[in-house]
């Protein structure tokens, strides 16, 4: 029954996205596609941190893996875009499995440090193998609009539909995974590894699986971002991207998929708005580009002070009691237990 509800919600949102994209300009369609790409990556990260309790500052590296995989597959094999997306997610998942095996014994800041090293080191691979990855210039990514939509169909609208469809499918899969036995096991490991191990759970395997799922989502997000931007270059997948993804997950609400949407909206829309605002007030180009960085810090501090559980947690606190006070009273212990990490 849960799967049916998730699918029904995805269909409703898909219809809304189609209607909304038709009314919006090409630039807003582009932003919608960009948000969908980040939603996919942030959703995997919020599951990793919010459900399994592992800290990662390197998901930008796995986005780079998926982005370069999609670019190379399109350039050399010319596969259909749907197959390219799936293959990119699988390749990133394999990379995540390898890294997860290596980091299975690390905890807390040590694991964060290892993922930080990955985020810093991986972009330099493109410079070492310029013949394959294009060096600083990167690789171009071209996706054509299907012929059945007509020659005059806006390409940005097709990109918005394509990326939003991939993001919705990802959210449905993650939502059902979070409600499954695996999701409950992740929560048990997050709350107490020793107790989970004594209960018969394979802690290391569950943690590696969480890394695999998160890496696959990041790889798919990277492939979507490559299609949207039309180019894959190492400068787009630096440590700054990994920190931005982590910030979006925290701002939106760790462990909540709607939180991934809120965080991605902040990640895409706030910098664009503030950059334009700074330029309109006569700030130089360098100063205007610095405004979004400062805004991230301000927004993060405000959200953490006002809504410690993120935007989604704040909305749940504001509207949850009115929506179902009796249900909350009946299930108060369970609600308290899942406050920090719910799908």
> What pLDDT, on the 0 to 100 scale, is given for residue 5?
86
> What pLDDT, on the 0 to 100 scale, is given for residue 339?
46
Listed by start position, the domains of the chain span 2-339
> What pLDDT, on the 0 to 100 scale, is given for residue 287?
56
User: 332 Cβ partners below 8 Å, 6+ apart?
Assistant: none
> What pLDDT, on the 0 to 100 scale, is given for residue 41?
95
> What pLDDT, on the 0 to 100 scale, is given for residue 1?
52
What residue has token string 């949850």? 320
Averaged pLDDT score across all residues of the chain? 83
pLDDT in tens, 192-227: 888 988 888 888 888 889 989 999 999 999 999 999
2-339 has CATH 1.10.3470 classification = yes
With a cut of 70, say whether residue 320 has pLDDT above it: no
Kindly report the backbone phi and psi dihedral angles of residue 139, in degrees, each rounded to the nearest multiple of 5, phi listed first: -120, 140
> What pLDDT, on the 0 to 100 scale, is given for residue 327?
39
pLDDT in tens, 233-289: 988 888 888 888 988 898 888 888 998 999 999 888 877 776 666 666 566 555 555
Q: How far apart are CA 258 and CA 313, in angstroms?
A: 10
Secondary-structure percent of the chain, ordered helix, strand, coil, rounded to 5 = 80, 0, 20
- Helix and strand counts by DSSP (H, E) for the chain: 16, 2
Kindly report the backbone phi and psi dihedral angles of residue 231, in degrees, each rounded to the nearest multiple of 5, phi listed first: -155, 150
pLDDT in tens, 83-129: 999 999 999 999 988 888 877 777 767 777 888 888 888 878 888 88
Buried b (16+ CB within 10 A) or exposed e, 330-342: eeeeeeeeeebbb
């Amino acid at each position: 029954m849960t799967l049916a509800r998730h699918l029904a919600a995805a269909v409703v949102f898909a219809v809304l996205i189609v209607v909304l994209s038709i009314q919006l300009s090409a630039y807003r369609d582009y932003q919608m596609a960009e948000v969908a790409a980040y939603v996919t990556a942030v959703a995997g990260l919020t599951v990793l941190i919010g459900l399994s309790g592992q800290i990662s500052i390197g998901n930008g590296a796995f986005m780079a893996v998926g982005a370069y995989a999609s670019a190379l597959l399109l350039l050399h094999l010319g596969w259909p875009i749907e197959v390219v997306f799936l293959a990119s997610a699988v390749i990133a998942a394999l990379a995540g499995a390898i890294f997860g095996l290596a980091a299975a014994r690390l905890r807390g800041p040590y694991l964060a440090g290892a993922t930080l090293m990955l985020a810093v080191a991986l972009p330099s691979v493109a410079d070492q193998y310029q013949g394959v990855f294009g060096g600083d210039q990167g690789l171009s990514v071209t996706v054509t609009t299907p012929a059945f939509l007509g020659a005059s169909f806006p390409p940005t609208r097709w990109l918005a539909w394509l990326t939003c469809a991939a993001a919705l499918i990802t959210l449905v899969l993650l939502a059902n995974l979070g409600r499954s036995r695996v999701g409950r096991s992740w929560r048990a490991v997050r709350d107490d590894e020793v107790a989970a191990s004594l209960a018969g759970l394979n802690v290391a395997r569950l943690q590696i699986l969480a890394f695999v799922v998160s890496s696959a989502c990041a790889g798919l997000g990277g492939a979507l971002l490559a299609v949207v931007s039309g180019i894959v270059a190492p400068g787009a997948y630096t440590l700054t991207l990994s920190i931005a993804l982590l910030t979006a997950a925290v701002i939106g609400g760790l462990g909540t998929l709607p939180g991934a949407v809120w965080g991605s909206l902040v990640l895409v829309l706030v910098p664009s708005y503030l950059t334009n605002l700074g330029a309109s007030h006569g700030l130089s180009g360098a100063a205007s580009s610095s405004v979004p960085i400062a805004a991230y810090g301000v927004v993060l501090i405000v959200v953490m002070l006002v809504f410690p559980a993120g935007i989604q947690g704040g909305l749940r606190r504001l509207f949850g009691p009115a929506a179902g006070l009796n249900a909350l009273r009946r299930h108060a212990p369970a609600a308290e237990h899942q406050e920090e990490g719910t799908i």
